[in-house]
Amino acid sequence: MGKKSTAMAFAMACNCAGETSKTIRQETNIPCGRCKPCLKIEAGNHPDIIRVKPSGPFIKIDQIRSLCQTIAMKPYEARRRVVIISDAQAMNPAASNALLKMLEEPPARTILILLATHTSDLLPTIVSRCQQLRFKPISSRKLESVLVREHGLAADDARIITTMAAGSLSRALRLHQTNWINRRNWLINEMETLSTASVNRLLAFGEQLSKNKKDLQDSLEVMTSWLRDLVVSRLNPERVVNQDLAPRIRQVSQQMSIDVLVEKIDTIQAAQNAIQAGTNLRLALEAMVLRLAKI
């Protein structure tokens, strides 16, 4: 929803040296983007703007201990040192507890920013020590405009990616960079042929999904959104997510009952839950695909 971009812009605003008038600086709080501190922060090589992100699935206690040692010292050159902890919900309990004292008494000239999906994913003791700023999804119109104007996407491609990004600029850019429209089309084609595919092809599809772990969550969401569109098309066609495929969706939706479509959606969600619980990835996905083909 722009949380990381906002955090970086805030760090730049805290340290911008480009404003000559203190009055203007206080009124606007907008970084110039051209001075030395702004350029270093934007390039990711400012020594006092510290980024912490998960190492594997978690942010570990050693990362937080190292952070605490670093910020116990004075900033090298910044007016205000800014620590940005991405995916703060990935901190394990030990890491969260190690951060508590630093949140209670942060060193002088230091601001800590925790980025998280939901406050409920953080320890209550962490949440109680933070000022909360809630972000809403970026509107489709604005997100489309940004993709076209600032990132050079064709209008049609920007519209498709916007529907899949669910109001998240970072997700929209990731989808664009990974040529996601082609992958979406491949996934939908596979979904349409499941009921007539051989067992070997079904298992091969499950294996292909399991090999691309980085994009697996997005892949499963595409599959779910396709099934959802088949349901929604009958009830409220204007709410279809994959609007560029609307004629195809109308045609396919007539071939299955709503009960069957809902059962398929439940099957994908059950597989997601099993994967999160630690079930063998390939076996979970192969079982999911076989189940989808039979329903």
Distance separating alpha carbons of residues 178 and 62, to the nearest angstrom: 32
Give the residue numbers spanning the domain of 149: 137-177
Residues 183 and 161 occupy one common structural domain: no
Residue 82 has φ and ψ, to the nearest 5°, of -125, 125
Q: What CATH number does residue 210 fall under?
A: 1.20.272.10
In a domain, 92, yes or no: yes
* Other beta carbons within 10 Å of 60: 18
Residues 166 and 237 occupy one common structural domain: no
Q: How far apart are the first and last CA of the chain?
A: 36
Residues 171 and 187 occupy one common structural domain: no
Residues 230 and 270 occupy one common structural domain: yes
Residues 186 and 156 occupy one common structural domain: no
In a domain, 132, yes or no: no
**Are residues 123 and 90 in contact, defined by beta-carbon separation less than 8 angstroms?**
no
In a domain, 83, yes or no: yes
Residue 109, SS3 per DSSP: coil
Could you identify the residue written with the tokens 């669910």? 166
Distance separating alpha carbons of residues 60 and 255, to the nearest angstrom: 49
Distance separating alpha carbons of residues 212 and 184, to the nearest angstrom: 14
Residues 168 and 195 occupy one common structural domain: no
Residues 193 and 207 occupy one common structural domain: yes
Of 127, 146, 165, the one marking the end of a domain is 127
- Position 268 scores a pLDDT of 95
Of 177, 208, 237, the one marking the end of a domain is 177
Residues 258 and 167 occupy one common structural domain: no
Q: What is the mean pLDDT of residues 40-57?
A: 90
- Position 25 scores a pLDDT of 45
- The helix (H) or strand (E) run that includes residue 114 is strand 110-114
Distance separating alpha carbons of residues 182 and 90, to the nearest angstrom: 31
| Residue 29 DSSP symbol | -
Residues 142 and 198 occupy one common structural domain: no
Residues 152 and 194 occupy one common structural domain: no
Report pLDDT digits (tens) over 144-183: 898 898 888 888 888 888 887 878 888 888 888 888 888 8
Question: 92 pLDDT exceeds 90?
Answer: no
In a domain, 209, yes or no: yes
What total number of domains does the chain contain?
Answer: 3
Residue 282 pLDDT level (bands cut at 50, 70, 90): very high
**C-alpha dihedral over 263, 269, 271, 272, to 10 degrees?**
170
Mean pLDDT of the chain: 88
Residues 226 and 162 occupy one common structural domain: no
- Position 154 scores a pLDDT of 85
Q: Residues 6 or more apart from 38 whose CB is under 8 A from it? A: 12, 15, 16, 17, 18, 31, 32
Q: What CATH number does residue 41 fall under?
A: 3.40.50.300
Residues 87 and 155 occupy one common structural domain: no
